[in-house]
Structure 1
Amino acid sequence: MEKTMDQRPRIIVDGVRKDFLLRHTHSLKEAFVARIQRKNAAPTTFQALDGVSFEVGEGESVAVLGLNGSGKSTLLKLVSGVLEPDAGTVLTRGRVAGLIEVGAGFHPDLSGRENVYLNAAILGMNEAETDARFDDIVAFSEIGEFIDQKVKHYSSGMFVRLAFSVAIHVELDVLLVDEVLAVGDAPFREKCTKKIKELAEQGKTMLIVSHSLGMVKDLCDRGVVLRKGKKIFDGPVDEAIKALQG
């Protein structure tokens, strides 16, 4: 019997709002000077996301587009579970692997090898699964002889190669990618893009944040455009790029 694809969404973002407090002083001295000068030192609220709603279906590859400060990275952190919304709901179905920040989840005093096992465990893999994939992870990352060095001595490029390699070798259902492919040399970026395409062809669900419109058009069929924390467009990726540039 032919296996049918589950029609339930992999990601649901429903009426999500996220606020951050912006503090205008960082020390008692600054607060005192502000008071003497009669400046308002009280923190203010910045609304990063305001009532954003959309769904991502099984096997969809969706780009999240917007200018700096539009709320893209905040949205991915909410979907990954790193942040919680102040209002609304974020739901995911299946195992989620995310490349949200370069080196996030890495312990600087552990080696690359130890961090592979640590990150894999965070992403839900057990030791046996990591053992089975370890050689492939290291080979893809091109870290080679540095795998047993402490990661605090790694360059940002080495960080992202190892983090990306761990994430894509997890048995995942949803992949979140936030601009990490901007780090590293051109051949490695090309290899990463090829691997993401392979995952898409396997029916994995993806939510991708990138300023590279060429990569977005290559990887995604649909785009969600944010402007100052609000969703202004959701539709075909070519039209989403026009909405972004309009």
Structure 2
Amino acid sequence: MDAPVITVTDAGIRFRRNRRSRRNFKDLFAGRKRRTLPGEFWALRGVSFTVQQGEAIGVVGRNGQGKSTLLKLVAEVILPDEGKVKVHEGVAPLIEITGGFVDDLTVRDNVYLTAGLHGMKKSEIAASFDEIIEFAEIGDFLDTPYKHLSSGMKVRIAFAVISRLEEPIILVDEVLAVGDKGFRDKCYRRIEELLAGGRTLFFVSHNEKDLRRFCTRGLYLDKGKLVIDGPINDVLKQYNADYGVA
């Protein structure tokens, strides 16, 4: 078997809460003190798995269980506080739609900036520019400041840029839910093309139809721990059973 493209070994990431809770006006006038909160919590802990090239992984779990944190570890946006995360190939992350984009720059300038930050050469961006804009359906707004775009338009341009990267690993975290149905369908067809080309996919979603469409394997996170790593249908069945979903 080929060497894995991602190796996660006993990974844990720890965050800090505000040490004291905020008081509202009622608490203030009643003379109530702020409550001291626990200072730290583990968003992920003891998580281990490997991923082979070409696998399509669906990450499931309720909100706040560590799904997005896991993707940020794989993207190397954050580093683990314990354990190891080894990514052996490059990553194309579609995690936060505003990541890498500058509000006051135009759409045109943002395409060059963001693609450049992800390693594309200026000549490569220029060669792909028309295709990026055509895919995003945003040609009338090339010289508009990014901050004036709607959320849906920001998703369009972000996906159009990231999906043009040649990185072997693609990370997608719920952001496509913002786009309209027609554009989502176009994005999904693009994801299928990338998978057919041998790319590896990490896909976070609450949409079971989408998870079953793209993914063959699932990771089920609960309270920061990996509960199940297995076939996506088995993972979704257990997840639904745990939370009373028929």
- TM-score calculated relative to the size of structure 2: 0.91
Q: C-alpha deviations, 1:102-152, integer Å up to 9, x for none? A: 221110011111111111111111111111111111000111110211000
**Could you say if the C-alpha distance between residues 244 and 217 of structure 1 is closer, same or farther in structure 2, counting changes exceeding 3 Å?**
same
Give CA-to-partner distance per residue, 1:192-243, whole Å, 9 cap, x none.
0110011000000111101111001000000000001000000111001012
Residue 41 of structure 1, CA deviation: 3.4
CA distance in 1, matches of 2:21, 2:40: 16
Q: For the Cα contact (< 8 Å) 2:91–2:169, is it kept in 1?
A: yes
Do the aligned residues in 1 keep the contact of 2:9 with 2:47 (CA within 8 Å)? Answer: yes
Q: Among 110, 114, 118, which residue is 2:113 paired with?
A: 118
**Which residue is 2:208 aligned to?**
213
1:166 correspondence with 2:166 = no
Q: Pairwise CA RMSD of aligned residues?
A: 1.9
* Map of 1:185 onto structure 2: 180
Per the alignment, in what secondary structure is the counterpart of residue 45 of structure 2? Answer: strand
Aligned ranges 1:75-224 → 2 under 5 Å? 75-224=70-219
What is the DSSP-based 3-state SS (H/G/I as helix, E as strand, rest coil) of the residue aligned with 2:142? helix
Query: How far apart, in 1, do the equivalents of 2:166 and 2:34 lie?
Result: 53
Distance 1:148 1:13 in 2: 42
Contact 2:221 2:228 in 1 (8 A): yes
Provide TM-score, normalisation by structure 1.
0.91
Conservation of the 8 A alpha-carbon contact between 2:217 and 2:231: yes
Q: Structure 1 residue 13: deviation in Å? A: 1.2
| Alignment equivalent of 1:242, drawn from 231, 237, 245 | 237
Are the counterparts in 1 of residues 21 and 37 from structure 2 also a CA contact under 8 Å?
no
Structure 1: give runs of 5+ residues left out of the alignment: 1-5
Q: What is the CA distance between 1:94 and its match in structure 2?
A: 2.1
Aligned partner of residue 8 in structure 1, secondary structure: coil
Provide closer, same or farther for how the CA distance between residues 130 and 24 of structure 1 changes in structure 2, counting only shifts above 3 A.
Answer: same
Aligned to 2:2: 7
The superposition leaves residues 24-51 of structure 1 with CA deviations (integer Å, 9 ceiling, x where unpaired) of 5488x99xx7xx7454436521211011
Percentage of identical aligned residues: 45
Paired positions, count: 237
Q: Secondary structure at the match of 1:148?
A: coil
Unmatched tracts of structure 2, length 5 or more? 242-246
